[in-house]
Structure 1
Amino acid sequence: MPPKPSAKGAKKAAKTQKAGRTGDKKRRSKRKESYSVYIYRVLKQVHPDTGVSSKAMSIMNSFVNDVFERIAVEASRLAQ
């Protein structure tokens, strides 16, 4: 007859079974691409003592996305 598992072993086994379930895991949100890191680096090169608010960073990110979109549209128009 095999030895009985101790109470600690039973708890440990129960924990590993709970962690193994796929339904219990939190779902990671999809990563959102942003230029905020690069905007911040350029800001620090130009004005080292100046910060930027999250709202201003959002506006700058929208601006960069808009400029790249316009460049892509113009490039596709010229390629035709």
Structure 2
Amino acid sequence: MAEPGSPSPPAEGPLVCQDPEKASSPPGKQRKPRLRRRRLRLGTSRQPTFATYFPKVLKEIHAGLSLSKEAKAVMDCFVRDLFERIADEAASLVRNKRGSTLTYRDIQSGIRLVLPTQLYKYADSQGNKALIKFISSK
């Protein structure tokens, strides 16, 4: 048994972001693995990741730091989850008003509903600043 304060053993295999509803399946049912017809290339993933952006942002905040693969995987899961929550909330707002177009205001309202007050205010100001910078660069 590990003593308190001693480092925990490293996790086995790569960290994969899972949907909480799909993560645990009933013990009685097991699916057959599908046969893949196409050969997958090594080193490519089917799902795009946000991992390429983390070093760029980290360089602006702390110049000499870097992230491990596990940290990138955790951050990627976190960003995906947050993005999905905001998108779901914004989509439900559009459905409630019987609209068919997702606008900036719907996304802003979704962010307001998902994030705590101080974090929303900071995200809103940073978003507006990025939008102004983008418009002025054109």
TM over 0.5: yes
User: Residue 59 of structure 2: which of 6, 29, 44 is its match?
Assistant: 44
**Aligned equivalent of 1:76:** 91
Q: Distance in 2 between matches of 1:61 and 1:40?
A: 12
Q: Distance in 1 between matches of 2:56 and 2:73?
A: 15
Give unmatched runs, 5+ long, in structure 1.
1-25
Q: Distance in 2 between matches of 1:73 and 1:48?
A: 35
Q: How does 1:1-80 map to 2 (within 5 A)?
A: 27-29=39-41, 31-80=46-95
Percent of pairs with identical residues: 38
Q: TM-score, normalised by structure 2?
A: 0.37
Structure 1 residue 39, shift from structure 2 partner: 1.3
Alignment RMSD, CA only? 1.7
Q: Distance in 1 between matches of 2:39 and 2:92?
A: 40
Amino acid at match of 1:51: S
Count of aligned pairs between the two proteins: 55
SS, match of residue 39 in structure 2: coil
Q: Distance in 2 between matches of 1:48 and 1:28?
A: 36
Q: TM-score, normalised by structure 1?
A: 0.61
Q: Which runs of 4+ in 1 moved over 4 A?
A: none
Greater percentage in helix: 1
Structure 1 residue 40, shift from structure 2 partner: 1.4
